[in-house]
Amino acid sequence: MIRIIIVDDHPIFRMGMKELLNQERDFSVCGLAEDIAGARIALAKHKPDVALVDISLSKENGLDLVKEIASHHKNIAVLVLSLHDESVWAERAIRAGAKGYVMKKQASASVITAVRNIMDGKIHLSPEIASILHDKLESGNN
């Protein structure tokens, strides 16, 4: 069973994402949080495999939470779900320690695929952004 927490400041989004993910036989949403403080509590209490984190958390930057998880909870894979443009934010999220980036406007199946990919040890990005980052790395442009 893949245990997941959802960190997003919009209650309706959290509940909808929980319903979507819990439809998968091998997924279990074990915690919900609306901010970094709540996420810390959920991480400690539920010890999830995956954290879905929004970049915009009320007055906080979700990338701060991504960095914290990456340095203090190395066994938790982070997937960033955001309204922010992937072409601008995906690289920042990956550099912060996320294992994937999905824009909220993408199909719900993208989130399920992304969770499965990051649990398989892969980085999950849209094909367009993956190609751009690959080219950037190949040219030594970091």
The b/e string for 44-70 (b: 16+ C-beta within 10 A; e otherwise) is eebebbbbbbbbebeebebbebbbbbb
3-class secondary-structure state, position 111: helix
Q: Mean pLDDT, to the nearest integer, of 80-93?
A: 88
Q: Which residue has the higher pLDDT, 49 or 130?
A: 49
Q: Mean pLDDT, to the nearest integer, of 108-123?
A: 95
pLDDT of residue 80: 96
Residue 106 predicted with pLDDT over 70: yes
Cα torsion 74, 122, 84, 6: sign: negative
Average pLDDT, rounded, for the chain: 92
Give me 124's structure tokens.
């999950």
> Could you read off the pLDDT of 23-64 as tens digits, one per residue?
999 999 999 999 999 999 999 999 999 999 999 998 899 999
pLDDT of residue 142: 57
Residue 141 predicted with pLDDT over 70: no
pLDDT of residue 137: 67
Residue 84 predicted with pLDDT over 70: yes
pLDDT of residue 87: 81
Q: Which residue has the higher pLDDT, 134 or 42?
A: 42
Angle between helices 108-119 and 11-22 (to 10 degrees): 70
Give me 101's structure tokens.
């980036």
Ordered by where they begin, the domains of the chain are 2-138 (3.40.50.2300)
pLDDT of residue 79: 97
pLDDT of residue 88: 83
CA angle, 69 then 17 then 79, to 5°? 30
Which residue type is seen at 76? I
